[in-house]
Chain A
Amino acid sequence: MALEIVESCVNCWACEPLCPSKAIVEAKPHFLIVADKCTECLGDFADPQCATICPIEGAIVNELNEALNPAGSLTGIPPARWAQVQREISAR
């Protein structure tokens, strides 16, 4: 049982000091979670701390590869709107 940080991570350091298991390490191109150490905060906190402070949707996933913070859940931007704006920008 472990969480994983994926490539959308922006290396903001917010998660690192919060991890009760010291499982998060600075790495290139982005931070990583040492799977052996990660407990998903079970027994320490109600919510996994890294995913609770992470500002980037989709950057932290569980073992099923599901985002703990799915698109739209943190910014409030509906994914359809986001996609439309990206199309508009690239069409310019």
Chain B
Amino acid sequence: MALPTIPIIPSSGGCSAGSCGSSATQMSGMSDDIRRRVQDHPCYSEEAHHHFARMHAAVAPACNIQCHYCNRKYDCANESRPGVVSELLTPDQAIKKTLAVAAAIPQMSVLGIAGPGDPLANPERTFATFRALAEKAPDIKLCVSTNGLALPEHVEELAKHNIDHVTITINCLDPEVGAKIYPWIFWKNKRIFGKEAAAILIEQQQKGLEMLVAKGVLVKVNSVMIPGVNDEHLKEVSKVVKAKGAFLHNVMPLIAEAEHGTFYGVMGQRSPSPEELKNLQDACEGDMNMMRHCRQCRADAVGLLGEDRGAEFTMDKVEAMNFDEDFLAEAMARRVALRDKVAAEREAKHAKAHAPQLPGQAVITLHRPQKSALAGRPVLMAVAAKGGLINEHFGHAREFLVYEVTATGAKLIGHRKTELYCSGDDSCGEAESVLSRTLRALAGCEVVLCSKIGYEPWGKLEAAGIQPNGEHPMEEIEPACIAVWHEMLKAGKLAPKTESKVA
């Protein structure tokens, strides 16, 4: 029996939002059937993304459209954004790499093909990968992310390969808007530009969505929020895709830096602020399930969301491995055992959540709803955490989870990266200190919870109006946030901002 040459290291990093338990609002609007189908999928279920890892196999280099937020020179090790990879794989390589990752990371539950081009513009490569993996690792869910142009012609085949999850990027319904996002498409052996191109793309996306829903395939819709281009329009997109049966909408911020060489980056199109993104997500939420935990990962990402272990699984390492049947069977058994364990733990957590509330929570509002002492305003808190616990040093955090905390609980609304998307050398030059970047990234947050924090950042955070808090090390995120909120309430800091001076 061959021994694995890559040690089994369960992922401990990744996102660790504690909100993803029973209170996770993202799942609340889903039927039991959908909930069951996404419960192990880190990109489809906020709760699952603490427990399960995914991998993107970069087998699909060709694309059939151009988006203004994309640059097809996609090979950059220092950039982290969709459409970028370090190493393009053949289907054979992708199959080996997937099996290697799934053997080394038992949390691995999903294999997605998302690029670096469009998976359905490379149908032979994409389906060859899916076919082999369905046979060799039948417990791994397969999913695909597409721009939708070639979707209708591939729906049959997708359904045949038992691909249960499809993501379509839909940025608009109006060709006028679309012409500002997509300069051209390749369609029926011609390159088509402008509004005409956008109209065809939109029609294909909507048709593909309807066909997938009719087949019972779960569809998530991704949208890129581009201020001044489609931000208002996305509210309508959200309504329409939900009406057609998409079960989750993921509004992501535009990533645009001049050094990426994209149209938007070079032309100075700005990205939305975290506040603008949240406002749009909130506005869409009335209509459907919104996803808040997306990390906009690379087309060759490996591991839990919020971490990338791609460097551990380069092809030279993978090619040296030997996969015999025993090895694959043992790896699968480990994955299945881990899934059972996680399912049991989640079951227990849910059961606990239905037990009577802890004292100190919003019970009083039942009796005095109008003049409740708990009617404090919502507060944004940034948390440096891993594995669901506040256990990161302020200076070591590569991302902060942002919670909106109210009398009724703490809800994950997003994350803020503390590093630049591109952290390379000269070509990505920047003179700002890490600390001032972090301060800017935390704009809008009033509190930062972390395990420890140094003297200098403490002072600078306070000066910026952000209260550092190191009093809850190793505690679970949600209860700690709620406790801090109650302290603020007691200290009279939570009067509605506009009324505080009048009163």
Q: Which residues of A contact B (CB under 8 A)?
A: 10-14, 17-18, 45-47, 49, 52-53, 55-56, 74-77, 81-82, 85, 88-90, 92
Contact = CB atoms under 8 A, between A and B. Distances in A.
A12 B191 contact: no
A12 B190 contact: no
B86 to A, nearest CB: 14
B44 interface: no
A46 B188 CA distance: 11
Contacts of A82: 266
30 contacts: A10-B75, A12-B61, A12-B63, A12-B72, A13-B117, A14-B63, A14-B117, A14-B121, A14-B186, A18-B189, A47-B190, A52-B186, A52-B189, A53-B62, A53-B64, A53-B191, A56-B73, A74-B184, A75-B66, A76-B68, A76-B183, A77-B263, A77-B267, A82-B266, A85-B266, A89-B258, A89-B259, A89-B427, A90-B427, A92-B430
A5 B252 CA distance: 36
Contacts of B431: 92
How many B residues are at the interface, by size bracket? 20 to 34
Contacts of B184: 74
Contact of B72 (A47, A52, A55, A88): A55
Nearest to B125: A13
Contact of B267 (A46, A55, A81): A81
A30 to B, nearest CB: 12
B122 A13 contact: yes
B252 to A, nearest CB: 21
Interface of B: 61-64, 66, 68, 72-75, 88, 117, 121-122, 124, 183-184, 186, 189-191, 258-259, 263, 266-267, 426-427, 429-431
A88 B258 contact: yes
A40 to B, nearest CB: 14
Given A85-B266, A89-B259, A46 B183 contact: no
Given A10-B75, A53-B186, A76 B263 contact: yes
A11 B122 CA distance: 13
Contacts of A10: 72-75
B266 A12 contact: no
Given A14-B117, A74-B184, A76-B68, A47 B189 contact: yes
A45 B183 contact: no
Contacts, number: 73
Contacts of B117: 12-14
B295 to A, nearest CB: 25
A10 B258 CA distance: 20
Q: For A45, A47, A74, which residue has the most chain B Cβ atoms within 10 angstroms?
A: A74
Contact of A92 (B189, B190, B429): B429
Contact of A81 (B61, B66, B191, B266): B266
A92 B258 CA distance: 12
Given A76-B183, A81-B266, 10 more contacts: A10-B75, A12-B61, A13-B61, A14-B63, A53-B64, A55-B63, A55-B66, A56-B72, A75-B66, A82-B266
A17 B426 CA distance: 37
Closest 5 CB pairs of A and B: A14-B62, A92-B429, A55-B72, A12-B61, A53-B186
A46 B75 contact: no
Nearest to A45: B189
Contacts of B190: 46-47, 52
A19 to B, nearest CB: 12
A85 B66 contact: no
Given A14-B62, A75-B66, A49 B189 contact: yes
B14 to A, nearest CB: 30
B191 A47 contact: yes
Contacts of A12: 61-63, 72, 74, 117
Contacts of B267: 77, 81
B88 to A, nearest CB: 7
Contacts of A88: 258
Q: For B190, B258, B266, B267, which residue has the most chain A Cβ atoms within 10 angstroms?
A: B266
A89 to B, nearest CB: 6
Contacts of A13: 61-62, 117, 122
A49 B190 CA distance: 8
Nearest to A14: B62
